[in-house]
């Protein structure tokens, strides 16, 4: 019997649309990111708050997102959040690669967003350097939960995005009283960064977020 293949698989891709599937011994995730005509999102990670945050990202990013996750063993929130971040990063990176050589893209983005009392700043640069630098205010460090996830699970989501996108990500939640508002502001800012990083820029055809010219 042949063992099932694990890893990341590209199902289809062009300059405006990419479909990926990622299989591990823990999870199966299928994701689709499109810059084409607006359609209703289809997001099901089995975690309500994470679904809500992914919806915030795609709305701010002005892209269509489909993401379906199945836990093949145990339903572990931390793994689901991290792997969902990795898949979102994989999707952005795959579309970035398609667009950079055909139309050129900015390759980076930065945003400051708010949700009521919460304010968050995110910067992303896609240049093959997988780094994440995340700062939380004391109010979040002392509050464990944001709805049905832990704050550290959402940290894992952002770290996973940087890993999957091969990007440097800075997240600073500058102030917040409500963890829900904090992560909503952060996800809005992440969506802005994705939109700006994928924005067409013919001056940068073939280029990445930095001057070395390659993700490797």
pLDDT tens digits, 45-88: 999 999 999 999 999 999 999 999 998 777 889 999 999 999 99
Residue 80: which of 53, 50, 60 has the closest Cα? 50
pLDDT band (50, 70, 90) for residue 179: very high
Per the rule left: phi > 0, alpha: psi between -120 and 50, beta: everything else, 213 is: left
Q: Mean pLDDT throughout 174-200?
A: 98
Q: How far apart are CA 156 and CA 146, in angstroms?
A: 13
pLDDT score of 41 more than 50: yes
Report the pLDDT value the prediction gives residue 1, as an integer from 0 to 100: 34
pLDDT at 75: 81
Q: Is 25 exposed, middle or buried (0-12, 13-18, 19+ CB in 10 A)?
A: exposed
User: Rounded to two decimals, what is the model's pTM?
Assistant: 0.95
Close Cβ partners of 24 (under 8 Å, ≥ 6 residues apart): 6, 72, 83
Per-residue model confidence (pLDDT) at position 3:
55
Domains with residue ranges and CATH for the chain: 7-203 (3.30.230.40)
């Amino acid at each position: 019997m042949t063992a099932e293949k694990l890893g990341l698989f590209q199902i289809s891709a062009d300059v405006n649309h990419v479909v990926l599937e990622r299989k591990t011994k823990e999870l199966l995730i299928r994701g689709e990111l499109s810059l084409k005509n607006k359609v209703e999102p289809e997001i099901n990670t089995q975690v309500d708050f994470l679904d809500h945050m992914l919806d915030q990202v795609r709305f701010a990013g002005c892209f269509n997102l489909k993401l379906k996750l199945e836990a093949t063993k145990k339903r572990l929130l931390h793994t689901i959040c991290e792997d969902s971040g990795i898949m979102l990063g994989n999707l952005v990176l795959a579309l970035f690669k398609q667009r950079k050589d055909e139309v050129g893209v900015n390759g980076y983005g930065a945003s400051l967003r708010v949700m009521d009392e919460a304010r968050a700043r995110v910067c992303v640069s896609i240049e093959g350097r997988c780094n994440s630098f995340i700062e939380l205010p004391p109010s979040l460090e002392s509050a464990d939960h944001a709805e049905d996830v832990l704050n550290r699970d959402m940290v894992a989501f952002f770290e996973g995005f940087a890993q999957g996108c091969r990007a440097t990500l800075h997240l600073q939640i500058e102030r917040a009283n409500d963890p829900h508002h904090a992560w909503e502001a952060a996800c809005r800012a992440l969506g802005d960064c994705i939109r700006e990083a994928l924005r067409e820029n013919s001056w940068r055809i073939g280029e990445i977020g930095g001057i070395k010219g390659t993700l490797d």
